[in-house]
Amino acid sequence: MKLMDIIKLSFTNAKRTKSSYLIMILVFIASASCLFSLSYKNSFDRYWNSYVKNSPEFRIMNVSYINWLDERDKRIMLGDASLDPDEKLKIIDKTTKEVMDVLATNEHILGVSKQYRVMAQIDYFENHNFSFVILGVPLDNNIEIVSGNNLDSYSENDKVMICPNIVYYRDENNIFYGNQKTDMNDLIGQAVTLSMADNATDEYKIVGLYDTISNYAYGEICYTSYANVKSLDDIYYEAYPHLYQEHLEYMKTIHYTGDNVFIMIDDVENLDQINDFLHENNLFQEGAIVGIDTETVDEIMKSCSYITLGMLVLSGIIVCLTLVQNITKRTKEFYLYSILGYSKKDVLKLIFMENSILIIIGYIFAIIAAQIGLIIYKNIVLIHKSRLYLMNPRVDLISILIGLLLALIIPILITVTISIFTRKRSFSSVEE
């Protein structure tokens, strides 16, 4: 029998089979959940791979060396007031230098620093009350560390920096405004004033821009050398010596247990090797790759997995009921098909087709529902998540193909099972 005739008859049968409609609804729910989950995960993977390979702040981590201090003098970690504050600072300072020397020996660590960031306003944005993070990065290396740019042609003390091409504004609750942004291309090659506070300013030249969109960046970070970050820090304390004195006094307290030592690694893919290196040297990460909220990814994947699994199990139960119906109640129907000249192979095609039609219809609606769900989730949840608000989750081809294969398991299962049950029987032998 011709394929078009089988399709037409299958469509007619599918419309009058209540159990098939139920399967379609269950497949719709399970597929929408599965598509949402897979597409979200794939979107996040694209986001992560693009961003971490182009943004240096994602390769910066804080290294803790409290174990070293504990070995030098246990009173430091115990907060013992019997330890002379000046002696304590000497021990911490010496230990910090030793740790930084050890870290610098690793081939995957590009730079080691105690000062790696300051907060400052750029005079061009003073009317927006917008502060930039001035991030320190190592110079004189052969890889592009600043989102496709580098500062290798400049010295540590050249007052230059690379900034975002687009600046996105957020409100006092750190929520992304969306359409409020400023193009910085007019500032390329221009000198701007950095202000850490009213009396703490310095002038820097913007020598490069990085693409905020393609790198999923905040649009608030400018990059310069470690030496310049320390210089900006010093300018701030020179303008406000009382704050520096308070800082010194804090360092002498019994609660002070060491400096923040930051390292920048060459590639996140080498993170496991870095962790092994730190462990071998009795060091460990105090802060892993910084600045991104990955918990929301795990949460949504887990929830969608539960929904998908539950709907598939429920679909399986309905499939079993449909099998019983197809084998018992439709025997006479199969006999009529044989009288009309259908072979057993044609009948099996018919069964597969009629189940596939409604499942595919349900799956098409699932694709639409999943995409709408991703858009809603982005605008309600992701917009408030650290560094995830620029992610653009969408239903992708890989997720569609995987979901379709899972959905088609149902009509295949029905057809194969009926074929097994009727293997030793001919539809034409059924009595009328």
Tell me whether residue 376 is in a domain.
Answer: yes
Q: What letter represents residue 104's amino acid?
A: A
- Give dist(CA 240, CA 254) in Å, integer: 24
Q: How many domains does the chain have?
A: 2
Q: What is the mean pLDDT of the chain?
A: 80
* CB contact set of 412 (below 8 Å; sequence gap of 6+): 352
What is the reported pTM?
0.67
Tell me whether residue 405 is in a domain.
Answer: yes
pLDDT of residue 325: 61
Tell me whether residue 288 is in a domain.
Answer: no
Tell me whether residue 143 is in a domain.
Answer: yes
Q: What's the whole-number mean pLDDT along residues 269-288?
A: 85
Same domain? For 104 and 242 the reply is yes
Same domain? For 108 and 174 the reply is yes
Same domain? For 33 and 62 the reply is no
**What percent of the chain clears pLDDT 70, i.e. is strictly above it?**
73
Same domain? For 93 and 47 the reply is no
Please count the other Cβ atoms lying within 10 Å of the Cβ belonging to residue 267. Answer: 14
Tell me whether residue 285 is in a domain.
Answer: no
Task: State the residue range of the domain holding 24.
Answer: 3-51+295-429
The answer to whether residue 331 scores a pLDDT higher than 70 is no
Burial 104-129 (b: 16+ CB within 10 A, else e): eebebbbbbbbbbbbebbbebbeeee
Which of 248, 266, 284 is the last residue before a domain boundary? Answer: 266
Phi, then psi, of 217 in degrees rounded to 5: -90, 160
The residue among 300 and 369 whose pLDDT is bigger is 369
Same domain? For 86 and 227 the reply is yes
Same domain? For 106 and 202 the reply is yes
Q: What's the whole-number mean pLDDT along residues 7-11?
A: 61
pLDDT of residue 196: 92
Same domain? For 253 and 317 the reply is no
Same domain? For 241 and 316 the reply is no
Mapping DSSP onto H, E and C, the string for 152-201 reads CCCCCCCCEEEEECEEEEECCCCCEEEEEEEECHHHCCCEEEEEEECCEE
The answer to whether residue 249 scores a pLDDT higher than 70 is yes
Tell me whether residue 271 is in a domain.
Answer: no
The answer to whether residue 425 scores a pLDDT higher than 60 is no
pLDDT of residue 431: 45
The residue among 15 and 314 whose pLDDT is bigger is 314
**Over the stretch 202-214, which tens digit does the pLDDT of each residue have?**
999 999 998 877 6
Pairing relationship of beta strands 109-113 and 191-197 according to DSSP bridges: unpaired
Same domain? For 243 and 139 the reply is yes
Predicted confidence band of residue 231 (pLDDT cuts 50, 70, 90):
very high
Same domain? For 14 and 61 the reply is no
Tell me whether residue 395 is in a domain.
Answer: yes
Which of 220, 249, 266 is the last residue before a domain boundary? Answer: 266
Same domain? For 150 and 241 the reply is yes
Same domain? For 45 and 69 the reply is no
Tokens 């969109």, located at residue: 213
Which of 228, 250, 266 is the last residue before a domain boundary? Answer: 266
Tell me whether residue 100 is in a domain.
Answer: yes
**Over the stretch 111-136, which tens digit does the pLDDT of each residue have?**
999 988 899 999 888 666 678 899 99
Q: What's the whole-number mean pLDDT along residues 273-299?
A: 73
Q: Is the dihedral of CA 86, 88, 62, 174 positive or negative?
A: negative
Sheet holding 60-64, edge to edge: 109-113, 261-265, 60-64, 284-287
The answer to whether residue 60 scores a pLDDT higher than 80 is yes
